[in-house]
């Protein structure tokens, strides 16, 4: 099992659209590889249908999961005319991916309150329109997270507990958490001209080298 985050960082709306398209492509590749994909957390972009960042869980055979995560780690380039600024000369947009191990769940279930809620926001097929989304609240601290996937409430509870544990860890070690965030922000910087994968056009077709 691996967590993979894809982000446009501080890039414009076109980069956020690239994240949405990358998520869809990742979903197709995961299905083909026999790897299950669940959206753990996502941050909407500045325009509807775009994502500033998305965190997904990849689960399945270790070799297949590792290979898929590796293909989406690092800088990714999308070559396309801007769909938002017709006269804009820029055609190269970048996003960045990074894989890491999810935290082990050790928070006692009695300390977490779960509430079923309706999924919302962009994400296409990865957003369930029923009330299977889960909001998990750590009773002692009041810290809360919301998880929405295509899976059952049981699966969402497990993901919510993992995400909540991660956030509680950062809360308990605030200074260390700040340093970790700074390192992560630097790591997620999209590098121009150093892309591991290149996609072209609105159909997001991979360019062969």
pLDDT of residue 79: 95
pLDDT at 206 > cutoff 90: yes
pLDDT digits (tens, 9 = 90+) for 88-144: 999 999 999 988 887 665 555 557 888 887 766 554 454 445 567 888 888 877 888
Q: 13: Cβ–Cβ under 8 A, 6 or more apart, which residues? A: 45, 46, 47, 50, 84
Cα–Cα–Cα angle for 108, 112, 118, rounded to 5 degrees: 140
Tokens of 29: 């590749």
pLDDT at 182 > cutoff 70: no
**Global confidence as pTM:** 0.69
> What is the greatest pairwise CA distance in the chain?
56
What does pLDDT average to over the chain? 82
Instruction: Give helix 174-187 / helix 153-172 axis angle, nearest 10°.
Output: 110
The arithmetic mean of pLDDT across residues 58-64, rounded, is 95
pLDDT of residue 119: 66
| Domains in the chain: ranges and CATH | 2-102+178-206 (3.30.70.1660), 109-172 (3.30.160.20)
C-alpha to C-alpha distance for 124 and 39, rounded to whole angstroms: 11
Do residues 93 and 14 lie in contact, with contact meaning Cβ atoms separated by under 8 Å?
yes
């Amino acid at each position: 099992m691996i967590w993979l985050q894809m982000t446009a960082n501080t890039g414009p709306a076109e980069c956020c659209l690239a994240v949405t398209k990358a998520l869809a492509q990742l979903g197709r590749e995961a299905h083909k590889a026999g790897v299950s994909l669940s959206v753990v957390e996502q941050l909407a972009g500045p325009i509807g249908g775009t994502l500033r960042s998305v965190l997904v869980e990849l689960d399945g055979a270790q070799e297949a999961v590792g290979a898929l995560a590796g293909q989406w780690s690092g800088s990714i380039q999308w070559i396309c005319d801007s769909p938002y600024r017709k006269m804009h000369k820029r055609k190269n947009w970048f996003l960045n991916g990074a894989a890491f191990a999810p935290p082990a769940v050790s928070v006692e279930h009695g300390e977490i309150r779960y509430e079923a809620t309706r999924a919302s926001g962009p994400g296409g097929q990865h957003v369930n329109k029923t009330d299977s989304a889960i909001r998990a609240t750590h009773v002692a601290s009041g810290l809360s997270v919301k998880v929405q996937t295509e899976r059952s409430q049981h699966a969402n509870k497990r993901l919510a507990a993992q995400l909540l544990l991660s956030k509680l860890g950062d809360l308990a070690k605030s200074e260390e958490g700040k340093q970790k965030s700074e390192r992560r922000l630097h790591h997620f910087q999209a590098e121009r001209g150093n892309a591991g994968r290149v996609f072209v056009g609105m159909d997001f077709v991979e360019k062969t080298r």
